[in-house]
Amino acid sequence: MPLDPMSQHISQADPGSTATGLTASFMAGFHQRADSDLGLIDQLCRLALSDSAEQADLALHELYGTIVEGVSNDFSSRGMQVCARVLARMVCCLGATPAGRALHGLLRTLGLRNEGDLVTGYHRLLAAPPLSRTAMAKIRRILLPSRVTIGADVVITGVLAQRLARAMPRAEILIAGPAHIPRIFHAMPRLRHLPLAYDRHGSMANRITVWTDLHRLAAREQEGLAARELLVVDTDSRLTQLGLLPLAGPGATRLFPSREDVAGRTATTLPELANLWCDHMFGPDQHVWPMVAFAPQHLMAARRYAAGRDNAFLLVISLGVGNNEAKRIPEPFEEELILTLLEDRNTLILLDSGTQDAGRRRVEALLATCRSRGLATAFLHEEDLATRQPPFPHGVVGFRGSIGALGALIGEADGFFGYDSCPQHIAAALDTPSVIAFAGAPNPRFEARWRSQGRAGRTFTIAAPPDAMWTDDLIQALAMQVAQHFRWLRA
């Protein structure tokens, strides 16, 4: 689908208001269940592919951050259909530019010449039949593209990998994706990581053409194997534009429809959906839980540090929200929470700062508040974890380290608190007693799908009300509710 020349009124208008207005029009139509106006997507693509960095960034944020995520987070079959059409239009728009030349060539080689071919192929994958026992017995390698984010890889990719390993015990499991894969699935049997970087904040070309790199990886893994000895199980990955771009033929590919609505199963979590889909596609088997496994050096360092807490109640807190501030409880909740928790003696809080500067500043501000109240504070870096012990039995220690080190500390903790982000899923996978403040959910299905779930069921989730309902009294009451839950655990 060739790009039309960029219209004069778009290029001269304020880029922010233009992109926002186009997006608002599209999303209004989606929520009103009207036919999707893909002409609005064309206009946003022109902005996203323009030479103006400001214009491109704003339009790309609206395309992926508002439209694709907004439609996907509806967790409905209609949302999946609309999203496939939007992404197909975006792929075709990019393919008509110099930056998309290699993409365009590969698509044509695969017989995908236009938007309609892409959408038709996507629906063909969704309708793929279960694999027979004979077919599964022939498979030697299974390729799963990562979900890109750590939390989604824990609750979806890891569950699928476990079920596939059980269903096809002779097959090697390959996960293609970012560097966190071997850090959260360390030494998982028969698992091999295929490194593939994905820039979640990159250009439109970067986010889409990563598929050409992944396709080359899949072709390389196919070498030396018969046609049906490689199976691709798409996790509904960003690396394939949510399953739209194929890595193998339809007979050798199965797509997990993670955003599909399930009749009569409104409260089903993503791990449950993954297990039910595997039952249908590969045969009924025992359901598995999300799992994580960290490197021995992280486990030993965390165990040594936690052992030095004496009788203190070790509580790990992560205030990360995955770049989505809608998931955060408004101020002064975090300050109120920490001060309320520290009203109980022998409470040692390990406060994770994440890996970004904003998280570090947030933690430093909270530590300063604690010091002004006469509470003990310190800061711990991952490289000192193996040689240090808690400096006091009561107070707050800021922490900065990798996901492997943080995960190992969560596993040693007496409790965990966090928002809807990857550490909540790690805590659930490790059966660490947890309280999760779930805020910013766009609809009840989203909250139900992304609730953390572990084998022991030791996660207590508080569904936070919309921002407009927050008051100082409600914030204080929520802090008290969290603190009371941990008091019950201690008792």
pLDDT of residue 187: 84
Helix axes 204-222, 77-95, angle to 10 degrees: 100
**Is 222 inside any structural domain?**
yes
Do 83 and 196 lie in a common domain? Answer: no
Do 316 and 199 lie in a common domain? Answer: no
Which residues neighbour 104 within 8 Å (Cβ) at sequence distance 6 or greater? 95, 96
pLDDT of residue 12: 47
- For the segment 222-247, the average pLDDT, to the nearest whole number, is 96
pLDDT of residue 214: 98
pLDDT at residue 199 above 50? Answer: yes
Domain count, the chain: 3
Do 425 and 468 lie in a common domain? Answer: yes
pLDDT digits (tens, 9 = 90+) for 327-376: 999 999 999 999 999 999 999 999 999 988 999 999 999 999 999 999 99
Do 172 and 274 lie in a common domain? Answer: yes
**Is 475 inside any structural domain?**
yes
Do 108 and 142 lie in a common domain? Answer: no
Do 337 and 464 lie in a common domain? Answer: yes
pLDDT of residue 5: 35
Q: Using CA atoms, how far apart are residues 8 and 289, in angstroms rounded to an integer?
A: 54
3-class secondary-structure state, position 185: strand
Do 483 and 363 lie in a common domain? Answer: yes
Tell which residue, 137, 165, 141, 163, has the closest CA to residue 230.
141
pTM: 0.94
- For the segment 107-136, the average pLDDT, to the nearest whole number, is 96
Structural domain containing residue 155: 128-257+267-282
Q: Cα dist. 321→421, 443, 459 in Å?
A: 6, 18, 18
Q: How confident is the model at residue 411 (pLDDT cuts 50, 70, 90)?
A: very high
**Is 290 inside any structural domain?**
no
Measured in whole angstroms, the distance separating CA 460 from the mean position of its chain's CA atoms is 20
pLDDT digits (tens, 9 = 90+) for 417-442: 999 999 999 999 999 999 999 999 99
- For the segment 18-29, the average pLDDT, to the nearest whole number, is 95
Phi, psi angle pair for 317, to nearest 5°: -120, 130
pLDDT of residue 267: 56
pLDDT digits (tens, 9 = 90+) for 384-409: 999 999 999 999 999 999 999 999 99
Do 230 and 316 lie in a common domain? Answer: no
The 434-438 sheet, strands edge to edge: 377-381, 395-400, 347-352, 313-318, 415-419, 434-438, 459-463
